[in-house]
Amino acid sequence: MTDETTPAAATTWGPMRSFGRIKSRTLKPRQADLFDTLLPEIEITDARIDAINTGERNGASELWLEIGFGGGEHLAAQAGRNPQALILGFEPFLNGVGSLLRHIEEQDLSNVRVMPGDARPVIDKLNAESVDKVFILFPDPWPKARHHKRRFIQTETLDALARVMKDGARLRFATDWADYADWTLERATAHPDFEWTAQTPAEWNVPPADHVTTRYEEKKLGDCAPVFLDFYRKPRI
């Protein structure tokens, strides 16, 4: 079993940029203010990662990740429903970060930590076998073949997630692009550390009972109905 304090298996990331724009419009005054007041209190820093790794989780017994939280509706709802979980949220799109900060303030959530940027360097700093659940919901699809190398789901990404996930931990991936669903299914089922247990179409065509529909999902911008793929981290030998 991997020593949970050893980051030696951390991935050496290439120059992949898995996200597009980081800002679309001027932040609303309230959101801009939250960047100055609330974000410093909950931003994921090296010091806060060290605290999480040593068990300082504000009373939470579980550690969850949401990679690419969009406008933050899903993350905030999950945090409100699951006070036992400390949720680390990652989103490079600053308008989305501002939206999540507003949700956190309005719902008085104390179990959320936020990184306005790439999740991958933080994943590398987390203890092995420390994460209970991961959400990757409707990431940038990069539909053109020449851009597929920018998709977040790559073998090296799965390697990094497998290192930090506990045995039996769940990775939920959702997309409304058929090719990205196939791409992810191919790579995750070929990965030695992940298992897909779905048996019937309802298990990937029907939103899971704990899913929270977001504004992005409602826009139906993809080329298929949403697909939900739940993978489990296989037990370590």
pTM summary value: 0.89
Strand partners, 87: 64, 112
Q: What is the mean pLDDT of the chain?
A: 91
Element (H, E) at 173: strand 165-175
CATH of 29-233, one of 3.40.50.150, 3.60.21.10, 3.40.50.2000, 3.30.460.80: 3.40.50.150
| Of 8 and 99, more confident | 99
Catalytic residue among 50, 140, 159, 223: 140
- Cα torsion through 114, 119, 122, 123, rounded to 10: 120
Closest CA to 126 of 233, 236, 52: 52
Closest CA to 161 of 187, 140, 138: 187
Q: Please report the pLDDT score of residue 215 as a whole number.
A: 86
Q: Please report the pLDDT score of residue 22 as a whole number.
A: 52
Asked if residue 23 belongs to a known ligand binding site, the reply is no
Per the CB < 8 A criterion, the answer to whether 113 and 81 are in contact is no
Kindly report, residue by residue over 198-208, the tens digit of the pLDDT: 999 999 999 99
Asked if residue 214 belongs to a known ligand binding site, the reply is yes
How would you classify residue 134: left for phi > 0, otherwise alpha for psi between -120 and 50, otherwise beta? Answer: beta
Q: Please report the pLDDT score of residue 4 as a whole number.
A: 38
**Catalytic site residue 182?**
no
**Domain locations in the chain?**
29-233
Asked if residue 118 belongs to a known ligand binding site, the reply is yes
Q: Please report the pLDDT score of residue 1 as a whole number.
A: 32
Element (H, E) at 86: strand 85-90
Kindly report, residue by residue over 142-194, the tens digit of the pLDDT: 989 898 999 999 999 999 999 999 999 999 999 999 999 999 999 999 999 99
